[in-house]
């Protein structure tokens, strides 16, 4: 793009080259401005998403409290599943929509060994037992020995080929007419 210097012509070659570089730099600056605007929009969207996540977290975890909260940290009604840590008994509680339920902590309570039980199906002879004194589950598998029958006859014909190790653990009395 030549620079106009009045009637009769444009600038010299150095001026024209400089003007071309200025025009190219202006295009690059405009493109950078577009990219910066796009980055600013992305940053704003990320900020809003982060604020929404924090707001959701703040509704669900209310933090340490000396007594059962009746509203969330912003004064809104409690949401089902909200949690707080009781500084009175060093324990976590969850709101079930009606009351606060003890979840556990050093304040005692929680699940006790005798809170668990096992019901075993009447079918089969397998057994699952629970000892509510020590909290141990014991499983006795079913007796499958009736599925194993005495002597079985296996007839092998043809050639055995391949590589590796093959073993047969059984008692053989006759193979190919010979005694062993």
Q: What angle do CA 90, 96, 101 make, to 5 degrees?
A: 30
pLDDT tens digits along 16-41: 778 788 888 888 888 888 988 888 89
pTM passes above 0.75: no
pLDDT tens digits along 47-79: 888 888 888 888 888 999 999 999 998 999 999
Strand runs labelled E in 67-126: 83-86, 91-95, 100-105
Mean pLDDT within 72-87: 91
> Where do the H-state alpha helices sit in the chain?
13-60
| Three-state secondary-structure class, residue 95 | strand
- Hey, which of 99-103, 142-146, 161-165, 168-172 has the most confident mean pLDDT? 99-103
């Amino acid at each position: 793009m030549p620079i106009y210097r009045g009637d009769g012509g444009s600038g010299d070659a150095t001026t024209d080259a400089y003007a071309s570089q200025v025009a190219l730099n202006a295009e690059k600056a405009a493109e950078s401005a577009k990219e910066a605007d796009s980055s600013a929009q992305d940053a704003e969207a990320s900020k809003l998403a982060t604020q929404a996540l924090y707001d959701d977290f703040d509704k669900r975890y209310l933090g340490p409290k000396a007594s059962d909260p009746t509203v969330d940290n912003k004064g809104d009604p409690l949401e089902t599943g909200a949690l707080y840590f009781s500084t009175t008994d060093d324990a976590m509680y969850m709101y079930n929509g009606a009351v606060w339920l003890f979840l556990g902590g050093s304040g005692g309570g929680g699940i006790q060994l005798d809170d668990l039980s096992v019901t075993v199906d009447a079918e089969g002879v397998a057994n699952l037992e629970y000892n509510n004194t020590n909290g141990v589950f014991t499983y006795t598998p079913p007796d499958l020995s009736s599925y194993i029958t005495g002597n079985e006859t296996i007839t092998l014909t043809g050639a055995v080929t391949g590589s590796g190790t093959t073993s047969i653990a059984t008692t053989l009395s006759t193979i190919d007419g010979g005694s062993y």
